Amino acid sequence: MDSKIHTVSASPNIAFIKYWGKRDHKLTLPFNSSVSMTLENPMLKTITSVKLSEKMKEDEIYINGNKIDSKDQRFNYMLGVIEQMRSKAKSDSKALVVSKNMFPTGSGLASSASGAAALSYALNSAFGLDMEPRELSKIARQVSGSGSRSIFGGFVVWHKGSIADGSDSYSEQIAPKSHWDELIDIICMVDSSRKKVSSTEGHELTARTSALFKSRIDFAENGAISSIQAIKSKDFQSLAQNIMRDSNNMHAVMLDSWPPIIYLNSSSLQAISVISELNESEGKYVAAYTFDAGPNPHIITTKANEHKVIEALDSVEGIKDKITGVVGDGPSMLDESESLIKD
Amino acid sequence: MDSKIHTVSASPNIAFIKYWGKRDHKLTLPFNSSVSMTLENPMLKTITSVKLSEKMKEDEIYINGNKIDSKDQRFNYMLGVIEQMRSKAKSDSKALVVSKNMFPTGSGLASSASGAAALSYALNSAFGLDMEPRELSKIARQVSGSGSRSIFGGFVVWHKGSIADGSDSYSEQIAPKSHWDELIDIICMVDSSRKKVSSTEGHELTARTSALFKSRIDFAENGAISSIQAIKSKDFQSLAQNIMRDSNNMHAVMLDSWPPIIYLNSSSLQAISVISELNESEGKYVAAYTFDAGPNPHIITTKANEHKVIEALDSVEGIKDKITGVVGDGPSMLDESESLIKD
């Protein structure tokens, strides 16, 4: 075991078919397969450095300069994968993990996917395990479900799997970014004063209380199959409809939860309206809206239509900023100069 | 057949368990039973006068001073019931129908239920049919589904029925208004700039396109059974939860329709927030929000809590006006001085 510092950069992804509801909480196993595009933009990265040490008494994790302790839910998920990797490597070393998100503070953008992917990748390197990406996607999955998809670049499917131990719930690439590099995600950061339900709580609440959730599972699974086909054939019309319908469907089962989970706000509703009107006036889909567990509109469109979409979004109140993500690569190793750990 | 003028006043109702989706469009047969409270307020009435004549060449219908012609969807539904009543009475007379809503213009309040009930009642009287209220509820149902419930005062269930000809899809009273006259509905009229989907189109769109709709049917049916019990035992805690969950569930399947049907706006979302916070701070349900096919919050509460609820609603932006409806009576015959038809 060396004491080198292993630093990885990873990107988030935007789900075209969403992951919501866990059939196994401990292993982070989903009810349905999900499909995403990995996003590239310098402002959207997470960088994670890992250093192993035989002198440390326990694993230590720092995120954005703050030490994460065992009271933090993230700690236990991250510790779990550190322990798995250590055991696989037959190592006794403790890990120092330092992670930093480039995301603008208060942007409401989730860093859990890129963070989970960067951590898994960096641990793999630090423990000298040389695991296949597919295996790493199962590791990342245990920290953050959507992180499983950020192990790959381009277009990615996370297979729901059916085995209880999670061994068949992994991600794989549908197509590399070069396959359809015209696609972009215009992320609109909006004001949000609403009290947040954490996505961990939300996953559980919906699966337990929504009377409609059981119908979502088949719908999303079919949406995943259809979206994979649409990506392979670069069929934006089919993909756009799948994207919007799945987002609406997920937010519907959220609204049907008790108490209801309402992430969409006035700006979100306006963005839905504006994009629907744009598509109507164009006589075809030129853009698709989608919303994760938050109010920020993600508008999936093509580079050719970017200007048109941004113009349309001008009338939406409450957008503080926009970041455009292009189709990106999976995690990459950074050299020593970019390490977050100073020896 | 006399040439007397028959004038009826009828009130709308607020559904605690909603009607959305028709198993038969022509007969207006629902997928699930619904439960409502009939609302009383002078501003919420519809008055309808009917006069039969052997001299008229065809039936004529006027609503709010405008002649309704056969291009108007309402005309055909109304003509259908006029013809049924005429045939039942073995009459040859044509009907002059003049109807007027007391509802404030542009309030977004639906007058179809009170209008359907008033029309059915007035035709029954004009044709001298002496039909039972239960039979009249089947007539009103064919003009407007929710109109079936406005044939009764107090608390009402509209049984979904299962027979194809609709003969077992009627309304009946669960309890008279005296049973629980503390209940009120604070109707908040809000700004709405959103393009409207008519409820007729919406019913069809959801049943045809929402993947979640099939799960709503059982949910709503169970909600109806539970709400009837809650009304009988005056259990506001159970009723309030049923009311809010059913409204959320209906708006969820609307959102899941394609294209999505989104009636809730920023004011609606704020009202949900404010009422949820009020209930949380009180440690029990003191009020329940519910939304029909529109953005107007209906807040079901008790007279004792009216002031508290109105205070809480003060922070909701976009409320133009509030009308409070108490539990009301079914349709009533008015005397000649209130006729809308001048001889």
pLDDT in tens, chain A (343 residues): 457 999 999 999 999 999 999 999 999 999 999 999 999 999 999 999 999 999 999 999 999 999 999 888 888 999 999 999 999 999 999 999 999 998 876 666 777 899 999 999 999 999 999 999 999 999 999 999 999 999 999 999 999 999 999 999 999 999 999 999 999 999 999 977 655 788 889 999 999 999 999 999 999 999 999 999 999 999 999 999 999 999 999 999 999 999 999 999 999 999 999 999 999 999 999 999 999 999 999 999 999 999 999 999 999 999 999 999 999 999 999 998 999 998 7
CB contact under 8 A, A258 and B273: no
Residues of chain A with Cβ-Cβ distance to B218 below 8 Å are 211
ipTM of the complex: 0.94
> CA B171 to CA B160: how far, in whole Å?
9
Span B218-222, mean pLDDT? 98
Paired residues of A302 in beta bridges: A183
Beta strands in B64-123 (DSSP E): 66-67, 94-101
User: Across chain B, what does the average pLDDT equal?
Assistant: 94
Residues of chain B with Cβ-Cβ distance to A273 below 8 Å are 194
Task: Please give the single-letter amino acid code of residue B279.
Answer: N
Instruction: Please report which helix (H) or strand (E) contains residue A67, including its range.
Output: strand A66-67
Say yes or no to pLDDT of B106 above 80.
Answer: no
- Band of the pLDDT at B7, cuts 50, 70, 90? very high
- Candidates B193, B194, B249, B256: best to mutate against A (most CBs of A within 10 A) is B256
Per the model's pLDDT, the better-predicted residue between B279 and B198 turns out to be B279
A313: region left, alpha or beta (phi > 0 left; psi from -120 to 50 alpha) = alpha
**Which residue from B252, B259, B262 is facing A212, i.e. has the nearest CB?**
B252
β-strand pairing of A29-30 with A287-290: unpaired
Closest A-chain CA to B280: A259
Task: Please give the single-letter amino acid code of residue B230.
Answer: A
Entry field: residues in chain B: 343
β-strand pairing of A298-302 with B319-327: unpaired
Give residue B282's pLDDT.
97
Give residue A1's pLDDT.
45
Contact by Cβ (8 Å): A14, A300: yes
Summarised one tens digit per residue, pLDDT across range B160-205 is 999 999 999 999 999 999 999 999 999 999 977 665 788 889 999 9
Cα dist from A251 to A14, A261, B150, B172, whole Å: 16, 8, 33, 35
Task: Please give the single-letter amino acid code of residue A343.
Answer: D
β-strand pairing of B94-101 with B60-63: parallel
Q: How far is B256 from chain A, CA to nearest CA, in Å?
A: 5
CA-based nearest residue to B111, from B120, B100, B122, B98: B100
Residue B29: helix, strand or coil by DSSP?
Answer: strand
- Candidates A17, A206, A256, A267: best to mutate against B (most CBs of B within 10 A) is A256
> CA B37 to CA A216: how far, in whole Å?
32
Say yes or no to pLDDT of B111 above 50.
Answer: yes
DSSP state of B82: H
> CA B236 to CA B288: how far, in whole Å?
9
Q: How far is B211 from chain A, CA to nearest CA, in Å?
A: 7
Closest B-chain CA to A263: B269
Summarised one tens digit per residue, pLDDT across range B47-105 is 999 999 999 999 999 999 999 998 888 889 999 999 999 999 999 999 999 999 988 76
Q: Which domains does chain A have, with CATH numbers?
A: 1-343 (3.30.230.10)
**Which residue from B215, B244, B259 is facing A215, i.e. has the nearest CB?**
B215
Q: What is the DSSP string of A40-51?
A: E-GGG-EEEEEE
> CA A16 to CA B256: how far, in whole Å?
16
Span B15-30, mean pLDDT? 96
CA-based nearest residue to A270, from B271, B292, B194: B194
Q: Which residues of B sit within 8 Å Cβ distance of A?
A: 194, 211-212, 214-216, 218-219, 241, 244-245, 248-249, 251-253, 255-256, 258-260, 262, 264-266, 269, 272-273, 276
CB contact under 8 A, B256 and A258: no
Say yes or no to pLDDT of B108 above 90.
Answer: no
Cα dist from B256 to A101, A161, B17, B129, B259, whole Å: 34, 26, 19, 44, 8
> CA A309 to CA A330: how far, in whole Å?
27
> CA B206 to CA B161: how far, in whole Å?
20
CB contact under 8 A, B252 and A215: no
Per-residue tokens: A124: 């793999």
Angle, CA of B200, B204 and B205, to the nearest 5°: 110
Exposure pattern of B210-248 as b/e (b: 16+ CB <10 Å)?
Answer: bbbbebbbebbbbbbebbbebbeeeebebbbbbbbbbbb
What percent helix, strand, coil does chain B show, rounded to 5? 40, 25, 35
Q: Which residues of A sit within 8 Å Cβ distance of B?
A: 194, 211-212, 214-216, 218-219, 241, 244-245, 248-249, 251-253, 255-256, 258-260, 262, 264-266, 269, 272-273, 276
Residues of chain A with Cβ-Cβ distance to B258 below 8 Å are 241, 245, 248
Q: What percent of chain B has pLDDT over 70?
A: 97
Longest Cα pair distance anywhere in chain B, in angstroms? Answer: 65
- Candidates A192, A248, A272, A315: best to mutate against B (most CBs of B within 10 A) is A248
Give residue A106's pLDDT.
64
Give residue B332's pLDDT.
97
Summarised one tens digit per residue, pLDDT across range B315-329 is 999 999 999 999 999
Q: How far is A260 from chain B, CA to nearest CA, in Å?
A: 8
In this prediction the pTM is 0.95
Contact by Cβ (8 Å): A148, A119: no
**Can you tell me which residue has the tokens 């860093």?**
A111
Instruction: Please report which helix (H) or strand (E) contains residue A95, including its range.
Output: strand A94-101
Q: What is the DSSP string of A278-342?
A: HHHHHTS-SEEEE--SSS--EEEEEGGGHHHHHHHHTT-TTEEEEEEEEE----EEE-GGG-S--
Q: Within 13 Å of residue B306, how many CA atoms lie on the same side as its CB?
A: 15
CB contact under 8 A, A249 and B212: yes
CA-based nearest residue to B308, from B343, B265, B277, B338: B277
Contact by Cβ (8 Å): A325, A14: yes
Task: Please give the single-letter amino acid code of residue B310.
Answer: I
CB contact under 8 A, B215 and A218: no
CA dihedral A318→A324→A328→A334, nearest 10 degrees, is -90
